[in-house]
């Protein structure tokens, strides 16, 4: 358990990506379960969903980067 806690502390964005991707894929599978998609279509949708989750975490991380460098803009 301590290894998991250490991983979460050391890699917060990767952890957020994993958790968000799992949730988004679960919603995708639940929503599209009766559509009749082929295995290749499922794979493409799941990969795209994981990518979108990564982009979401990356975009949200922009705000954290700005907070870490408060005086970087406008200084020579």
Backbone angles phi, psi at 22, to 5 degrees: -60, -45
What is the pTM (predicted TM-score) of this model?
0.78
Rg, Å, the chain Cα set: 17
Per residue in 11-69, pLDDT tens? 999 999 999 999 999 999 999 999 999 999 999 999 999 999 999 999 998 887 777 76
Number of domains making up the chain: 1
Q: Give 57's contacts (C-beta < 8 A, 6+ positions apart).
A: 13, 16, 17, 20
Domain assignment present for 39? yes
Domain assignment present for 76? no
Residues 22 and 11: their CA atoms lie apart, in Å, by 17
Domain assignment present for 9? yes
- Domain limits at 22? 2-67
Domain assignment present for 72? no
Domain assignment present for 74? no
């Amino acid at each position: 358990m301590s290894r998991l806690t250490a991983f979460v502390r050391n890699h917060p964005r990767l952890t957020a990506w994993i958790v968000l991707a799992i949730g988004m894929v679960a919603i995708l599978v639940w929503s599209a379960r009766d559509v009749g998609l082929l295995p290749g279509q499922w794979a493409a949708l799941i990969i795209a969903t994981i990518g979108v989750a990564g982009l979401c975490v990356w975009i949200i991380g922009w705000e954290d980067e700005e907070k870490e460098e408060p005086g970087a803009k406008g200084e020579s």
